[in-house]
A and B are shown apart, each in its own frame.
Chain A
Amino acid sequence: MMNIVNKKLNKNQNLAMVIIGDRCVNCNACYVACKTDWEIPAIKEAYRTKVWEIESEDNEGKPTISFLPVLCNHCENAPCVTVCPTGASFKRDEDGIVLVNPDMCIGCKACMVACPYDARYYDEEKQSVDKCTFCLPRLSVGLDPACVDTCVGESRNFGDISDPDSSVAKLLKNATSISRLKEDKGTLPNVYYITINE
């Protein structure tokens, strides 16, 4: 297991995931890549990212299906960090990534209950809560997160949104709509869902 807690990236970044909603085809490559890269337990409820199916009707009443990739939102106001009694859950100043230090986690699961996005699970083997790290060990060697690398439709995009020249900042600038999940909770998520004109 790599020690991800002390890996440093460039300072003053605002790392974010920008997801182009209608490009996701629910191939679940992201789910598989994440699980294999990080040795997530092979049980259904253990995952760092997954894709939800949303069934609905269009304006003409025809059934439609769309897909919603979800992961930890690495919130600016992360309730999981606020409630953690030991400091095991923390947000890095330098890039805003929210992490769990398994050595400090006492397994009270307050963070799991506090997360409005159901982004965390309990890893029995680690005896700690686990969650998406934006693939910090990959980032520190210059790679994108595994789910971004493997995304066949380029639905998932990752980078520093505070850098105007980054691909994610440009995507946000050119998006026709931008939303984040449960914005009313005041968590200020760092995962953006956009649509673009193509």
Chain B
Amino acid sequence: MNKVRRYVQTKHKNIWLVLSFCLAAIAIYGITQVFLHGQEASYGVSREVPWGLLIISYSFFVGITLGTAVVGALAHVFKIEDFNIMSKKVALVSLASLVAAFFVIFWDLASPFKFQVLRLVVYFTEFKVTSPIWWLVVLYALELPLLAFEVYFLLSKEKNSALFASLIGSSVGLIAYGVMALVFDSNGSRPLWHTSSFALFFIISAIAGGFSVVLVMIFLNGNTSKYKKPIEALSKTLFFLLTFMFIIDFWNIVINSYSPDTELGSTMRLFQWNGVLGKNFYIYEVFLGIVIPLLLIAFGKFKNPLLSSFAGILSIIGIFFARFDAVIGGQLMSRPSRELDFVQHSYIASNTEISLLIGSFGVAAIVYFLGAKFFNLEEERVDEQA
């Protein structure tokens, strides 16, 4: 593994960038489908399930942005030195993830073909304070330059400015992600979303995603023996966050299953083992995404970089499934009237949506590797403390 890593790092510095472009190029299939057939014909969404894989991907990417920004903020603002590791690269990942989120949501909105600039002007002159999506756009429009400033200040070694940008950026990111959860949570028509624990799970799991990403980055970066203390601190925090997620998931299932509310009760049937989301939930979200990572971290006594980073990869996959289960689960059961039986709708992500999702990972990777190359971050392997 180390040999391969060293070979790639020395002989083929650009291979990651080339692979990133290849990954992003997969989105061309989806984009072509949208241009040829339109969004509705190309996506798996429907009248009953209007939000699909692209919204899920957006909520996932902005979650990674928040999580990595929080790791950076804990290092800069609270001076937790164990988290002050590869801070430039972590900030760059945060920025790259946000760009990927913008890319994927662009293809979900109806108006990639409309005049976006004019729309943006109109958008910010109409203050729709009751709309969570309005706040979401405003806050993430603020977040992008803040993250860019943070990266810039870290690179120019302006520590105080970097601290300030990190503090403001992570605060805006935290509020923005809360609003992201509110987009679902405020919806009284969808009982699965309309619970107080929904936003809590969204935010906690996003932060867990950030810690997972940093653990994986440390492992891929090499020289893990240098980072014993940070790996232990990150692993312990991830362990705590995953435990918290497990508790929320467990009690959500138990409490909601007792719900006398028939709409919520019918939705919870989706999450039974034989329900359409049952295997997604129990296998991928809970077992693979929470239980196995907890066991791996514990088995490695919080110190094993391989086990902790593998736990990180699994928890990232689990968090993606958690977003899928939450977003799709909230839409699958409906009835327009009390007199009607519940109708269970279906949602299967189309190849177009999947290609755009894969492409958005490529976009994030391009931003990261171009940034790393441009700012020469790959060379900073000896002492990367900010």
The distance in angstroms between the C-alpha atoms of A108 and B132, with both chains bound, is: 12
Main SS class of interface, A? loop
- In whole Å, how far is B124's beta carbon from the nearest beta carbon of chain A? 10
CB distance B130 to A83 under 8 Å? yes
Encode A55-88 as 1/0 by CB contact (under 8 A) with B. Answer: 0000000000010101000000001001111110
| Cβ-based interface call for A135 (8 A) | no
B109 A106 Cβ-Cβ under 8 A: yes
CA distance A185 to B128 in the complex (A): 22
Measured in the bound complex, the distance between the Cα atoms of B133 and A127 in whole Å is: 18
Instruction: Considering the complex, give the chain B residue whose CB is closest to the CB of A66.
Output: B339
Q: Which of the segments B166-174, B182-190, B250-258, B316-324 contacts the partner chain?
A: B182-190
A39 at the interface (CB under 8 A from B): no
Tell yes or no: B38 within 8 A of A by CB.
Answer: yes
The interface residues of chain B lying within 8 Å CB-to-CB of A68 are 337, 339-340
Which of A66, A128, A181 is most buried by chain B, counting CB atoms within 10 A of its CB?
A181
Interface string of B118-137 (1 = CB under 8 A from A): 01001100101011111011
Which of A86, A120, A127 is close to B123, meaning CB atoms less than 8 Å apart?
Answer: A86
Please tell me if the beta carbons of A110 and B131 are within 8 angstroms of each other in the complex: yes
B residues within 8 A CB of A113? Answer: 50-51, 187, 189-190, 331
Cβ of B338 under 8 Å from chain A: yes
With A86-B122, A182-B337 known as contacts, the answer to whether A79 contacts B188 (CB < 8 A) is: yes
- Docked CA distance A128–B339 (Å): 30
Q: Which residues of B contact A (CB under 8 A)?
A: 38-41, 45-48, 50-51, 108-111, 113-114, 119, 122-123, 126, 128, 130-134, 136-137, 183, 186-190, 331, 334, 336-340
- Rank and list the top 7 A-B pairs by shortest CB-CB distance, nearest first: A107-B110, A85-B134, A109-B50, A85-B133, A116-B189, A45-B47, A85-B131
- Hey, which bits of chain A sit against chain B, CB under 8 A? 45-46, 52, 54, 66, 68, 70, 79, 82-87, 104-110, 112-122, 124, 127-128, 181-182, 185-186
Pair B119/A106 contact, Cβ less than 8 Å: yes
List residues of chain B with CB within 8 A of the CB of A117: 336-337
Given contacts A107-B109, A124-B39, A127-B113, whether A118 and B48 have CB atoms under 8 Å apart is yes
Say yes or no: A82 contacts B131, CB within 8 Å. Answer: yes
CB neighbours (8 Å) of B123 from chain A are 85-86, 106
For A83, give its contact among B50, B108, B133 (CB under 8 Å): B133
Q: In the assembled complex, which residues on chain B have CB atoms less than 8 Å from the CB atom of A66?
A: 339
Asked if A104 and B128 make an inter-chain contact with CB atoms under 8 angstroms apart, the answer reads no
Which chain A residue has the least Cβ–Cβ distance from B327? A113
A84 touching B41, Cβ below 8 Å = no
Q: Which of B51, B111, B128, B131 contacts A109 (CB 8 A)?
A: B51
Q: Is the interface of B mostly helix, strand, loop or mixed?
A: loop
What's the minimum C-beta distance from B170 to chain A, rounded to whole angstroms? 24
Query: Which listed residue, A52, A85, A185, touches B189 by the CB 8 Å rule?
Result: A185
Query: What CA separation (Å) do A78 and B248 show in the bound complex?
Result: 32
Chain A residues within 8 Å of B340, by CB = 52, 54, 68
Chain A residues contacting B131 (CB-CB under 8 Å) are 82-85, 110
Q: A52-B337, A128-B110 are in contact. Are A122 and B128 (CB under 8 A)?
A: no
**Residue ID in chain B nearest A185 by CB atoms:** B188
Q: Is the CB of A106 within 8 A of B111?
A: yes
**In the assembly, what is the distance between CA of A159 and CA of B199, in Å?**
42
B110 touches A181 (CB 8 A): no
Bound Cα distance from A30 to B338, whole angstroms: 22
Asked whether, in the complex, the Cβ of A83 is within 8 Å of the Cβ of B132, the reply is yes
State how many angstroms separate the Cβ of A172 from the closest Cβ of chain B: 19
Task: Evaluate contact between A122 and B188: CB separation under 8 angstroms.
Answer: no
Q: What are the residues of chain A within 8 A of B108 when measuring CB–CB? A: 108
Q: Given A106-B119, A115-B189, answer yes or no on A181-B338 (Cβ-Cβ < 8 Å).
A: yes
The docked-state distance in angstroms from the alpha carbon of A70 to that of B343 is 16
CB of A105 within 8 A of CB of B110, answer yes
B338 touches A122 (CB 8 A): no
CA distance A113 to B193 in the complex (A): 11
Chain A neighbourhood of B114, CB < 8 A = 106, 127
CB-based contact B130/A82 at 8 Å:
yes
A79: which of B41, B128, B189, B336 is its contact (CB, 8 Å)?
B189
| B190 CB contacts on chain A under 8 angstroms | 113
